[in-house]
Structure 1
Amino acid sequence: MTSQIQPSDQDLWAAIAAGDEIAFGRLFDRYARAVYNHAFRLTGSWTLAEDVTQSTFLVAWRRRGEAGLVDGLALPWLLVVATNTTRTEWRSARRWLAALRRLPPEREADVDPASDVAARLDDERQMTKILAVVRRLPRAEREAVALCLWSGVPYGEAATVLGISEGAVRSRVSRARARLARMVTDNKEDAR
């Protein structure tokens, strides 16, 4: 039985930069789930997370010659691309919703949702509540939370991607945790 050594992200990226589609497929297989979960945490929507994941890897392929790996890893760069793609999606969604509001309302069709649809909706409702609280954080703290807490990117790699020191990332995460704790406590007290 032979064990197969997995190529490093740097090796894969060198092949991808040369146009190797198989290497790109391996990188996709390696990180698609992490990017998808990151996108869900940013959007609160499984469907939008799928779109963001697809767009992220499309950007990765198009920018394969200019991508910046962090300590030889592609994931931090992919997560930043996903974050930027999410921002673009939100801007597009706001414009689309504004256009829809100008249309007359339609009649609702009879729908028989399946159990997985109900579970997805519950996930989205829960994530919407979480996002409502997290969006109240300053942008710098939101980015640190999304990268380090939600997606598990180490502080050092997040610092490199964000272009700040590791201490600044740790500080942002710490401040975000403290603010979130206060916000949750305040919301519980308001609910009483």
Structure 2
Amino acid sequence: MTTETDAVLVRAMATGDRGALARAFDRYAATLTRYTWALADDRQDVEEVVQDAFLTLWQRSPTLELPADTVLPWLLVVCRNLAFNAGRKRTKHRADELPETLATPSDHGEAAETLRWVRAEIAALPELDRRICELCLLEGHSYAEAAELLGLSVGAVTQRVSRNRRRLKKVVMHDEH
């Protein structure tokens, strides 16, 4: 069985292959959901952001070019922008401070640059917290998997992820990029 690359999936979506979208969803939905929880407090918002990110991928697939092997950074930026917009709708008093719209990234390079702030924040964490965030928020491992890999309890991982989500959310809400 050969592993289908993200570039192949995107090209298939561009030709109308709904199965390719389903395979991309299966590949990245869990990671995007974990990441979006760092940006949104409400379960409904998280679900909508993830669904809308895949809808955006479907819509942009005919023009999307991936200079790297993965569409994940692009999807993460889409989630960030969608979550930011959802938060803006809920928080009327902040509406005047925020840009009118946030565009989705036009290519993988732009997405990687936009995620610079996320990686910088994670890199600044103490080593154990940094590794937990990399495993759970960026690589898509479950808390149980991260706990096993790091020799910690699931509760310890859960607590550290929760604390660092709050920190990342503050950065997202005050990000000037």
How would you bin the TM-score normalised by the shorter chain? 0.5 to 0.7
Identify the range of structure 1 (55-64 vs 87-96) with the bigger mean alpha-carbon deviation.
87-96
Shift of the 81–170 alpha-carbon distance from structure 1 to 2, 3 Å rule, reads closer
CA distance in 1, matches of 2:21, 2:56: 12
Q: 1:61 offset after TM fit, Å? A: 1.1
Q: TM-score, structure 2 length as denominator?
A: 0.54
- For residue 71 of structure 2, what is the amino acid of its counterpart? A
Q: Deviations over 1:75-113 (max 9, x none)?
A: 1111110001011101111249x9xxxxxxxxxxxxxxx
Q: TM-score, structure 1 length as denominator?
A: 0.50
1:82 is the counterpart of 2:79:
yes
Shift of the 174–159 alpha-carbon distance from structure 1 to 2, 3 Å rule, reads farther
The aligned runs of 1:128-139 (5 Å cut-off) are none
RMSD: 3.4
CA distance in 2, matches of 1:80, 1:71: 15
The aligned runs of 1:15-164 (5 Å cut-off) are 15-69=12-66, 71-95=68-92, 161-163=111-113
From 1, 8, 14, the counterpart of 2:5: 8
Shift of the 87–174 alpha-carbon distance from structure 1 to 2, 3 Å rule, reads closer
CA distance in 2, matches of 1:67, 1:81: 13
The answer as to whether partners of 1:39 and 1:53 remain within 8 angstroms in 2 is yes
Aligned length: 115
Q: 1:33 offset after TM fit, Å? A: 0.9
- For residue 19 of structure 2, what is the amino acid of its counterpart? I
Flag structure 1 segments of 5+ consecutive residues without an equivalent. 99-157, 185-192
Overall identity of the aligned pairs, in %: 29
CA distance in 2, matches of 1:161, 1:5: 27
